[in-house]
Amino acid sequence: MFRCGHVAIVGRPNVGKSTLLNRLVGQKLSITSDRPQTTRHRIVGVVTRPDAQLLFLDSPGYQTRTGGALARLLNRTALQVAEDADVVVLMCDGRRWTQADEQIARLLPSNRPVLLAVNKIDAVADKARLMALVEQARRVREFDEVVPISARTGRQVDLLLDLCAARLPEGPARYESDALTDRSERFLAAELIREKLFRQLGDELPYASTVEIERFEETPKLRRVHAAILVDRESQKPIVLGARGERIKRIATEARIDLEKLFGAGVYLELFVKVKSGWASTEQSLRAYGYE
Ligand SMILES: Nc1nc2c(ncn2[C@@H]2O[C@H](COP(=O)(O)OP(=O)(O)OP(=O)(O)O)[C@@H](O)[C@H]2O)c(=O)[nH]1
Ligand SMILES: [Mg+2]
């Protein structure tokens, strides 16, 4: 008997959804950062075992204080992911249960298994507080299972994996057994560059920035990537470039190192900054840049 199906990972921004996806797959597929709204696209991470193939869906954190076309689009993606899955993992931060967690818990479908993953237990010293949090969450809705985990250290992640696998429908594998994701190398390259941008820019970050791959050439041993960082205003360009172009150079170097690891090949990366006013202001223009 073999099982295969989708497991959605949902939750408010910054609780560690993408960190979990990467931990499960054992590769850095989905970008992470210590600021909310890092993930903007759904991405599948494939885990193949002798008894099951689990297709984990990472999604943007659900925003309860929304505004703007990008936020609206991300929220739709976040909920759609749960609707499309066989099993839902609601993730929360073990340090606090908030109004936002409560709101998301209520929005989840009631006709399929929902597991609560209480993450970041490595950062919770007081286990009684963890118990209190679980009680609070249980008052909102029923959960099939509650699993305290640490996506960062990997603690109890295997247990969560087993519990998800057991709840999938019977069926054949949908991906090759060595597949990691449904996304192209081109997409992964754009995302990893965006991660470096997020991490390097700190609070100066122009939220209305994205990465566009202009050229992607593949040979067995080398990927040649030309990518543009799009910003909304001319005044944001020097922020991305940094003094004497040092910042963009650092972004490119870090992205290249991660990409080489992920692709198992050499990477030649050229990075530019471009001003494209209003690229994130309407849903139509967002679609033109790959947002669903
Ligand atoms: N201490 C601790 N930190 C964690 C753990 N898991 C994730 N983090 C950190 O939490 C932050 C957010 O992680 P992400 O995986 O980007 O969170 P996310 O839920 O995908 O966030 P969005 O994509 O913005 O919705 C990062 O700084 C992670 O390193 C954990 O188990 N323990
Ligand atoms: Mg994320």
Domains and CATH numbers, the chain: 3-166 (3.40.50.300), 185-288 (3.30.300.20)
217 CA distance to ligand 1 middle (Å): 32
Pick from 30, 32, 37, 92 the residue to mutate for probing ligand 1's pocket: most ligand atoms within 8 Å of its CB. 32
Q: Determine the residue type at 26.
A: G
One DSSP character per residue, 121-147 reads GGG---HHHHHHHHHHHHHH---SEEE
Cα separation, 150 vs 197, whole angstroms: 26
Q: Determine the residue type at 288.
A: A
Residue located via tokens 């908030």: 98
Contact present, 56 and 155 (Cβ < 8 Å): no
3-class SS of residue 96: strand
Residue 16 Cβ inside 6 Å of ligand 1? The answer reads yes
Residue 72 Cβ inside 6 Å of ligand 1? The answer reads no
Pick from 9, 12, 19 the residue to mutate for probing ligand 1's pocket: most ligand atoms within 8 Å of its CB. 19
Cα separation, 49 vs 141, whole angstroms: 31
Q: Determine the residue type at 3.
A: R
Cα separation, 78 vs 73, whole angstroms: 9
Beta strands, E only, 105-209: 114-119, 145-148
267 CA distance to ligand 1 middle (Å): 27
Identify which of 37, 27, 6 has the alpha carbon closest to the alpha carbon of residue 207: 37
pLDDT tens string, the chain, 292 residues long: the values are 999 999 999 999 999 999 999 999 999 999 999 888 888 888 999 999 999 999 999 988 877 766 677 777 777 777 888 888 999 999 999 999 998 899 889 888 889 999 999 999 999 999 999 999 999 999 999 999 999 999 999 999 999 999 999 999 999 999 999 999 999 999 999 999 999 998 888 777 667 788 999 999 999 899 999 999 999 889 889 999 999 999 999 999 999 999 999 999 999 999 999 998 887 777 777 777 777 7
